[in-house]
Structure 1
Amino acid sequence: EVAKAAGVGVGTVYRRFGDRAGLAYAVINDREVKFQAAFLTGPPPLGPGAGAAERVRAFLHALVDRTEDQLGLLLVAEMDSADARFTEGSYELYRQHLALLLDRIRPAADVHWLADALLAPLAANLYGYQRRTGGMSVARVKAGYDDLLAGLAPRGGATAP
């Protein structure tokens, strides 16, 4: 369908994008660039200027929304290659961003493991299962994140900047 709409052959599309995952990520890219700009340089709480805990929550909620909006494309991209989610570029940026913020909340924690654990529920196949088969609403997914994040609060109840 993409080749037909572009007026080129299927081989041309595959030469340009490599596989279906590459094509899906190319379609996703415009939204991805905007999302990255929002959490790297946009206004708080998603962007700089809010406390670390607030930013983690805003980031995860925004990523839930993004996953919801582009679930079909993400399913195609992630199913085409077992490693696509981890090698297309955004995952590592998300992981590092979360690790940086988590280090401000819980400096002694294994923040990279925690970042992976927080990103895992947004793998397209699991998220799709929760939404379609499990009947979970977007609000319920976000509430689940809020419950997880409550457990990450600094010991002693202090809030991290």
Structure 2
Amino acid sequence: MTAPTERADAARNRLRILDAARRLLAADGFAELSLDAVAKEAGVGVGTVYRRFHNRAGLVYALIEDNETRFQEAFTLLCEDEAPSAQDRLRAFLHGLADLVDGNRELLLLAEASAPAGRYHSAPFRRHHEQIAGMVAELAPDMDADYVADLLLMAFTPGLFDFQRTERGWDVHRIKCGLDTLIARFGAAENAAARRRSRAADSDAAT
């Protein structure tokens, strides 16, 4: 079933609201962002903003979606141009996600503070989980891909990511290297499982 097309006036209001939010963020910072202030800056009714975004977290995630779109486009282009293996695709995806989270840290922290569980119900999180689970299932079929996807996405929890960057003083390169270690272990585990399956098949054939 095709999703309904957004009305032209609703689309215009959405752009006005997001542009107003960006102006307020640039002028006053993240802590001062409120839906009432955004509505006033955008020249729309407060009800319009609340109906569209529900709360501050919803508005913040809408802002993040712009960068998410660019991230997805870059990943799709990589896969089309280079046709990488599942392991290389997963590595590129997680590295790109680390850059995305680092570049949106303050917005993500604001969203997390506004609605702690909101991240798990957001469109980007559901999309990332589906993509990672698909690559894990391809890389290591014997693993519980959905659970592993949740574990990998925990690395991008805004509070934890910010703690690693600020309190521990880790740079993004170190975080990416940690992710690489996990990915390599997934590949090694699948290779070992494949060898066991091959030996079992040989044994069955011999008998």
TM range (shorter): 0.7 to 0.9
Unaligned runs of 5+ in 2: 1-23, 25-37, 195-207
- Aligned equivalents of 2:51, 2:130: Cα separation in 1: 31
2:152 is paired with a residue whose SS is helix
Aligned equivalent of 1:28: 64
What root-mean-square deviation, in Å, do the aligned CA atoms of Structure 1 and Structure 2 show? Answer: 2.2
Alpha-carbon deviation of 1:75? 0.9
Which letter does structure 2 place at the counterpart of 1:108? Answer: D
Which letter does structure 1 place at the counterpart of 2:179? Answer: Y
Aligned equivalent of 2:163: 129
| 1:82-107 deviation line (CA, Å, top 9, x unaligned) | 22111111112111111111111111
Alpha-carbon deviation of 1:9? 5.9
Aligned equivalent of 1:150: 184
- Aligned equivalents of 1:19, 1:89: Cα separation in 2: 15
Higher mean displacement: 30-39 or 107-116: 30-39
Instruction: Identify the structure with the greater helix proportion.
Output: 2
- Aligned equivalents of 2:161, 2:182: Cα separation in 1: 16
Q: Which one scores higher on RCO, CA 8 angstroms, separation ≥ 6?
A: 1
- Aligned equivalents of 2:95, 2:185: Cα separation in 1: 17
Equivalent in 90, 93, 96 of residue 59 of structure 1: 93
Counterparts of 1:31-50 in structure 2, within 5 Å, are 31-39=67-75, 41-44=76-79, 49-50=83-84
Aligned length: 156
1:57 is paired with a residue whose SS is helix
TM-score, normalised to structure 2, is 0.68
Residue 141 (structure 1) aligned with residue 171 (structure 2): no
Aligned equivalent of 2:128: 94
Alpha-carbon deviation of 1:64? 0.2
